[in-house]
Amino acid sequence: MKHLLSTQDLSRANAIRILDTAEEMSAVGDREVKKLPALRGRTVVNLFFEDSTRTRISFEAAAKRLSADVINFAAKGSSVSKGESLKDTAQTLSAMGADAVVIRHWASGAPHRLAATDWIDAGVINAGDGTHEHPTQALLDAFTMRRHWAKLAGTESEGANLKGMRVAIAGDVLHSRVARSNVWLLRTLGAEVTLVAPPTLLPVGVEKWPCAVSYNLDDTLAQGVDAMMMLRVQGERMNASYFPSTREYSRRWGFDDNRLRTLDRLGMKDTIIMHPGPMNRGLEISAAAADSPRSTVLAQVRNGVSVRMAALYLLLSGDTREPATTPVLATAGTTPSTKEAN
């Protein structure tokens, strides 16, 4: 794996390999010394053109647990007129010897530009680009769902997929890189995805996506859902007439207390509620839903570090083989067996 730019071009074997590697990485987090020497001497640059403390510290923790040197580069001047160009920034990082660049950018496609040009030859991880993709978020979501799905089936997570799992994703799909990355990845892993949104917040062309589309959250819930993912909705969208008011949005498309009770009433005792964060409590998700035992919000954050460790490891280990069973930690100097670590 040279880069991780999107989930759309991620094969099933590679996706499962990342998730399996993340399971092994997760074991590290359970140990007293949460550190591996795997990436000692390698330099990871967090290049953030957009504020995102959560994603940045998640990548930072992941890189540090693998003993990489981490440089945080907050590129504020994000327009050509105000600051340095992406090309100059990339060449500067290249000259400093960056081995991997984790890039968050407000412009869709910016990570692709880094990967496709000769500005820098480091591995590129897309940490969210505009309204395009956020592949590590989708991978951590899939990781969280897979653990849940495997547990229900009474099997191991490793090697498993999401076949048959019904996932609903509700909210501002139009502006959501999380939704896009999840649609492609969850489909690749065998899940059945339904997008739920007001028609104004679905992109023209969504009918060609490999998922179902619904304008009615209650109908979707009534049909049965194993994982309910709520997307952040920005109140400002109201000003652009995407919806009339935040209250109307919340009533029709928010996961409120009534809908939380609906899950119980319809007997969906194992349905989980997910949110990529940060949450707008009271808008797209009620406090009771966010804090309920069904909520996986904090597990998602925790799993994010494991998934990002896996992505960095696979990118920088230079291992392009496909098998998911490679004992990936063997090269790290320590040889902890996954099973023992668990």
Partner 1 sequence: MAPSTGTYLIRGAAVLGGEPADLLIRDGIIAERGAGLSDDGATVIDAAGLVALPGMVDVHTHLREPGREDAETVETGTRAAALGGYTAVHAMANSTPVADTAGVVEQVYSLGKAAGWVDVRPVGAVTVGLAGEQLAELGAMADSRARVRMFSDDGICVHDPVLMRRALEYVKAFDGVVAQHAQEPRLTAGAQMNEGEVSAVLGLAGWPAVAEESIIARDVLLAQHVGSRLHVCHVSTAGSVEIIRWAKQRGINVTAEVTPHHLLLTDELVRSYDPVYKVNPPLRTDADVQALRAGLADGTIDVVGTDHAPHPSEHKECEWAQAAMGMTGLETALSVVQHTMIETGLMTWADFARVTSAAPAAIGRLADQGRPLEAGEPANIVLVDPAARWTVDPFRMATMGRNSPFKGRELPGKVVATFYLGHPTVLDGELNTPHPSAAQPAGAA
- Nearest-angstrom CA–CA distance, 286 and 284: 7
The answer to whether 134 is a known ligand-binding residue is yes
Closest approach of partner 1 to the CB of residue 214, in Å = 17
Nearer to partner 1, 117 or 258 (CB): 117
Q: Interface with partner 1 by CB under 8 A: which range of 107-115, 241-249, 300-308, 323-331?
A: 107-115
Q: Select from 12, 51, 117, 334 the one that contacts partner 1 (CB under 8 A).
A: 117
Amino acid 128 reads G
Q: Which is nearer to partner 1, 33 or 204 (CB)?
A: 204
CB atoms within 10 A of CB 320: 9
Q: Is 82 within any annotated ligand binding site?
A: yes
Comparing C-alpha atoms, which of 224, 242, 124, 262 is closest to residue 175?
242
Task: Please state, in angstroms and rounded to a whole number, the distance separating the CA atoms of residues 186 and 166.
Answer: 10
Instruction: Give the sheet arrangement for strand 227-230, strand by strand.
Output: 212-214, 192-196, 166-170, 227-230, 272-274
| Stretch 52-91 residues interacting with partner 1 (CB under 8 A) | 79-80, 85-87
Q: Is 277 annotated as a binding residue?
A: yes
Q: Flag whether 54 is marked binding.
A: yes
Q: What is the CA radius of gyration of the chain?
A: 20
Q: Hey, which residues between 310 and 329 contact partner 1 (CB under 8 A)?
A: none
Which H/E stretch holds residue 192?
strand 192-196
Q: Which of 23, 129, 172, 192 binds partner 1 (CB under 8 A)?
A: 129
* Options 17, 42, 148, 177; binder of partner 1; rule CB under 8 A: 177
- Kindly state the smallest distance separating residue 81's Cβ from partner 1, in Å: 10
Contact set for partner 1, span 195-234 (CB under 8 A): 203-206, 208-209
- Would you state the structure tokens that stand for residue 7, as one six-digit string? 């989930």
Position among 83, 130, 190, 336 found at the interface with partner 1 (CB under 8 A): 130
The tokens of 151 are what?
């547990």
Does the footprint of partner 1 cover residue 263 (CB under 8 A)?
no
Bridging pattern class, strands 100-105 and 227-230: unpaired
Has 321 been labeled as part of a binding site?
no
Binding residue for partner 1, selected from 71, 83, 113, 282, defined by CB under 8 A: 113
CA dist 83 and 20 (Å) reads: 41
Instruction: Give CA separation, 252 vs 15, 172, 243, 287, in Å.
Output: 34, 13, 11, 17
The residues, ordered by sequence, that sit 6+ positions from 26 with a Cβ below 8 Å of its Cβ are 303, 306
Which are the contacts of 151, defined by CB distance < 8 A and separation ≥ 6? none
Name the segment binding partner 1 (CB under 8 A); options: 94-102, 124-132, 215-223, 309-317: 124-132
Strands 212-214 and 123-129: unpaired
- Smallest separation (angstroms) from partner 1 to the CB of 187: 13
> Binding residue for partner 1 (CB under 8 A) from 110, 124, 142, 260?
110
Query: Which of 21, 43, 131, 296 is close enough to bind partner 1 by CB under 8 A?
Result: 131
DSSP code per residue over 120-141: --SEEEEEEETTTB-HHHHHHH
- 211 or 260, CB closer to partner 1? 211
Using CB under 8 A, pick the residue from 74, 116, 222, 287 that binds partner 1: 116
Structure tokens at 57: 């510290």
Q: Are 226 and 194 in contact (CB under 8 A)?
A: no
Query: Which residues participate in the annotated binding site?
Result: 54-55, 82, 104, 134, 137, 177, 232, 277-278
Query: Which residues participate in the annotated binding site for carbamoyl phosphate?
Result: 54-55, 104, 134, 137, 277-278
Query: Which residues participate in the annotated binding site for L-aspartate?
Result: 82, 177, 232
The contact set with partner 1 (CB under 8 A) reads 8, 79-80, 85-87, 105-110, 112-113, 116-117, 129-133, 177, 180, 203-206, 208-209
